[in-house]
Structure 1
Amino acid sequence: MGHARRPLSVLRSLALAAGSGLVVAPFAVLGVAPAGASTPTASRAQAITCPTVADRLPSVPAQAKAEVDRNLALLDTQIKEANTRLVSSAGQGGPNFVQNAILGPLKDKRVATINRIATAIGRVTQRPAGLDALAPCTLTGGGQAGNGQQSAASPTAADFIDIRKVPRSAGRAKTTRKGSRGTFTSRCGRNQNGHHNSANFLVAPGVENGAHHIHDYVGNLSTDAFSTDGSLSRAGTTCSNGDKSTYYWPVVRLRSAADPAQHDSSAADLNIGRVLVPATVSIQYRGNARSKVTAMPRFLRAVTGDAKSLTNGTANARAHWTCTGFTARTTADKYPICPGGSRVTRVLDFPSCWDGQNTDSANHRAHIVFPDAAGACPSGTKAVPQLRMTLGYTIKISKAQIAKGTLYALDTFPEQLHKPITDHGDFENVMSTRLMRKAVTCINTGRRC
């Protein structure tokens, strides 16, 4: 983890926040304030949101990929800086201050950055048109919240639901006689070693805070902003079977109104609270309902869900939240309230229909897609072992506690407001050929390995 960012102490975090004009952020994001303090309206209830660019791009030629990736990461940094400015300038200026001082300059920066992306692609192939329409950003939120209340910038009671009130789900497609029923499990621990950073080498390579939220990692011990296929293959692993793949997801935090100063180096991105270590982590590969599976290529990369689904829409959202003992009931856009003895559970299913050629694609989705509702892979693709990451948390929380400001939530990009629909996961296959062959055999012969 040579380049991974280590959590900061509370005092050092407060000093950093003060230096960036974010002294009130820990209180503002929770929607509470200490005795005698006031909470600026803008930091409490507003955030800047911008259209996504990565998903609107055509296939990016290999010659342009590095430059495109750098500028996509810069677009995220620009949004973060604008949201930081929004917090630090709360109460300043007249009615047009945000538009003139923040949104206007942000649009100008985005126009220039988007133009560099289009130019990089245009040097190799046809220049994409119409990207300038993605430059303007908007201010969301704006509701008032007094001391002791929750804000639009943090989860609210409306983001939670008693799992017993969630309807039963339709369930997985029924496996046919030609399907594959076995499973293969890599036991990789729960991130007890505290492997955390706010990077994402898949979508923002070389950018140390490219994700703007903290990830949990299991499997590969070296994963950070600068990871490559080569560095991952040379590293150690937490998996007991030698699986060197990297598996990661945004952390869950306990956000308590009673202790609003709990935060670390991610506080500047409005992610605060105590990081919860999962009580259970299952890394399991499963079969296909309609066919046998074939081996994944080494270094195949895949993502599930959309970290920006609040602003992008739910086309790529894949969040599944439930509770142990209630797994027939799942919710996508609510955090579950689980009864006593039951654990909050996240289920992250990955795409499993591979194009047979590419280990990655420009949007990290086109090369491997999901089966249809009946479980069949689209024409031109082949079924590979389907990764399911299941994460369990011991969170004892009630409606009354939530109403008083004690709740839990995902780390997210600042403008995504910690919504459960933004849950997502990332993966790169670094299994040896022999281990992948074993997984395929177990799955295709109906064994549980």
Structure 2
Amino acid sequence: MNALSIVRNKWGITAGLAAAVVVVGAAAVYLSGGDTEPKPTNVSNAAGYLGAESSPSSPSLSAASAQPSATASARAGAGAKPSTPADQPPPIPKAGWIPVDRAAWNAQVAAYNALKIDPVPAGVGNLAEFRADCTYSHRLPDDPIVAPGLPGASHMHSFVGNKAVKASTVASDLTKFTATTCKPVQDHSAYWVPTLYDNATNKPVETTGFRVYYRALSKDSKGQMPMPSGLRMISGDAKKKKPTPRGAQGQFYCAFYGPGDLDGIARSTNGNWPICGGNATLHFMMQFPDCWDGKNLDSPNHKDHVAYGSGNACPSSHPVKIPAITFDIQYGVKGTPAGYYLSSDKEGKSASSMHGDAFVMWDVATMNKRTKNCVFQRRTCDNNGYQK
């Protein structure tokens, strides 16, 4: 993956470069500021590049309101064989409201609350985040969140992270089959997006970089809790079919070093896709919610159990402040006059149907430690911990 650029616009949307992997920030991500924040090399209206939408304002959240806690999941080695007897059918994936395992969540919270913060080496940045860097794993017309147990029922998806994910995947599978394309390997989660296709050739264009941030969107870490195991959610709208011309919200953009235009030096014939100049390639940013209802790991529309906070608070309906996932996706292409299309909108050939799914399953001790050290303490962490 090529090292790419740093971008900030007048709303404070930032994107940083780290470890030769593009790090493009989302709206309100770097509100915490700090003298380690990268200096911008390009100014543009980056607000249009985020697929997520804000939620209504919310009342304040006290530390006591975040009473639930997460899981101490059993974990087998990568490649372990399923233990289901031959005469017993595999578990049927559930849909709709899926309640959290209360005992497991309470155990995780207790462990998190008892956890001491590790000593911080000199020079660590103050962006409240940790991350996983992932690569392309596989492609299937499956969606274990939207169409659980129904292979082939979805448009084509490109998966990163857990290598075993398919339509029938349930949360326990993520702890049994832990082979992953992510670093750190303690992230057993699965992440996926609709497959991108070259409009001229109809051939898939897979991601060449896929960074998943877990970060604070607020300036205040009061009540910060870890992510519960098995949480699943969706950002974006697969049914949205609106054009994405230059400057539109939810479009792909170009990332690069030095001066240039995020919207590209030109556009595809239909106007929906940028054509990048210089060393720039296509990117997409996607922001997930940072508040959870503390009760359910999923909901019928895969969104109602989570919500976006407002300012430094979560709404009373979703009082548990969790790390906000951000997808920072790179495609190793520069754009063409023919443009592209997503598997979720082959006819319209716009980028507005771009969306992402996250099926979260970390080693619990790692999730707790990264949340406590990095998000709660508001320090910058990479794949291995504190980042200098």
Q: C-alpha displacement at 1:283, in angstroms?
A: 1.4
Q: C-alpha displacement at 1:320, in angstroms?
A: 4.9
Say if 1:319 and 1:371 are closer, same or farther in 2 by CA, change over 3 A.
farther
Say if 1:235 and 1:319 are closer, same or farther in 2 by CA, change over 3 A.
farther
Secondary structure at the aligned position of 2:297 is classed as coil
C-alpha distance in 1, partners of 2:260/2:327?
14
- Identify the residue that residue 161 of structure 2 maps to in structure 1: 219
- Greater share of helix residues, 1 or 2? 1
TM-score (norm 2): 0.58
- Identify the residue that residue 291 of structure 1 maps to in structure 2: 220
Say if 1:290 and 1:438 are closer, same or farther in 2 by CA, change over 3 A.
same
Is the contact between residue 291 and residue 383 of structure 1 (CA under 8 Å) also seen in structure 2?
A: no
1:184-217 Cα offsets, whole Å, 9 max, x none, are 11122x21x4x110111101111112222x1111
- Identify the residue that residue 417 of structure 1 maps to in structure 2: 348
Is the contact between residue 241 and residue 345 of structure 2 (CA under 8 Å) also seen in structure 1?
A: no
1:77-96 Cα offsets, whole Å, 9 max, x none, are xxxxxxxxxxxxxxxxxxxx
Say if 1:345 and 1:218 are closer, same or farther in 2 by CA, change over 3 A.
same
Q: C-alpha displacement at 1:169, in angstroms?
A: 6.2
Secondary structure at the aligned position of 2:241 is classed as helix
C-alpha distance in 2, partners of 1:219/1:320?
24
1:200-239 Cα offsets, whole Å, 9 max, x none, are 1101111112222x11111111111111112222112222
- Identify the residue that residue 199 of structure 2 maps to in structure 1: 255
**Is 2:375 the partner of 1:443?**
yes
Is the contact between residue 319 and residue 424 of structure 1 (CA under 8 Å) also seen in structure 2?
A: no
Q: C-alpha displacement at 1:422, in angstroms?
A: 0.5
Is the contact between residue 280 and residue 391 of structure 1 (CA under 8 Å) also seen in structure 2?
A: yes
Match of 1:203 among 119, 123, 146: 146
Q: Which amino acid aligns with 1:249?
A: V
- Identify the residue that residue 314 of structure 2 maps to in structure 1: 377
C-alpha distance in 2, partners of 1:365/1:280?
26
Q: Which amino acid aligns with 2:280?
A: S
Match of 2:331 among 393, 412, 416: 393
- Identify the residue that residue 279 of structure 1 maps to in structure 2: 208
Q: How does 1:304-383 map to 2 (within 5 A)?
A: 304-310=235-241, 319-325=250-256, 334-372=272-310, 374=311, 376-380=313-317, 381-383=319-321
TM-score (norm 1): 0.51
1:306-362 Cα offsets, whole Å, 9 max, x none, are 000128xxxxx983532113899579x942222121111111111111111111111
Q: Which amino acid aligns with 1:229?
A: A
Q: Which amino acid aligns with 2:320?
A: K
Say if 1:354 and 1:229 are closer, same or farther in 2 by CA, change over 3 A.
same
C-alpha distance in 1, partners of 2:260/2:219?
23
1:370-399 Cα offsets, whole Å, 9 max, x none, are 223x4642233222111111111222335x
Q: Which amino acid aligns with 1:235?
A: F
Runs of 5+ consecutive residues of structure 2 not aligned to the other structure: 1-7, 14-26, 35-59, 62-125, 243-247, 265-270, 382-388
Quick one: percent identity of the two aligned structures? 27
Q: How does 1:133-148 map to 2 (within 5 A)?
A: none
C-alpha distance in 2, partners of 1:301/1:328?
35
C-alpha distance in 2, partners of 1:196/1:184?
27
Q: RMSD of aligned C-alpha atoms?
A: 3.1
Is the contact between residue 189 and residue 358 of structure 2 (CA under 8 Å) also seen in structure 1?
A: yes
1:155-183 Cα offsets, whole Å, 9 max, x none, are xxxxxxxxxxxx95633333389998321
Q: C-alpha displacement at 1:413, in angstroms?
A: 4.8
Is the contact between residue 307 and residue 422 of structure 1 (CA under 8 Å) also seen in structure 2?
A: yes
Q: C-alpha displacement at 1:290, in angstroms?
A: 3.9
Secondary structure at the aligned position of 1:231 is classed as helix
C-alpha distance in 2, partners of 1:446/1:337?
37
C-alpha distance in 2, partners of 1:335/1:376?
36
Say if 1:397 and 1:245 are closer, same or farther in 2 by CA, change over 3 A.
closer
Is the contact between residue 176 and residue 289 of structure 1 (CA under 8 Å) also seen in structure 2?
A: no
Q: How does 1:97-112 map to 2 (within 5 A)?
A: none
Q: Which amino acid aligns with 1:432?
A: D
C-alpha distance in 2, partners of 1:429/1:232?
9
Q: How does 1:77-156 map to 2 (within 5 A)?
A: none
- Identify the residue that residue 176 of structure 2 maps to in structure 1: 234
Q: C-alpha displacement at 1:284, in angstroms?
A: 1.3
- Identify the residue that residue 182 of structure 1 maps to in structure 2: 128
C-alpha distance in 1, partners of 2:206/2:335?
16
C-alpha distance in 2, partners of 1:328/1:169?
15
Q: Which amino acid aligns with 1:239?
A: C
Count of aligned positions: 250
- Identify the residue that residue 119 of structure 2 maps to in structure 1: none
Say if 1:169 and 1:336 are closer, same or farther in 2 by CA, change over 3 A.
farther
C-alpha distance in 2, partners of 1:285/1:217?
18
1:2-33 Cα offsets, whole Å, 9 max, x none, are xxxxxxxxxxxxxxxxxxxxxxxxxxxxxxxx
C-alpha distance in 2, partners of 1:310/1:169?
28
Runs of 5+ consecutive residues of structure 1 not aligned to the other structure: 1-166, 257-261, 263-272, 312-316
1:51-104 Cα offsets, whole Å, 9 max, x none, are xxxxxxxxxxxxxxxxxxxxxxxxxxxxxxxxxxxxxxxxxxxxxxxxxxxxxx
C-alpha distance in 2, partners of 1:327/1:383?
37
C-alpha distance in 2, partners of 1:304/1:375?
21
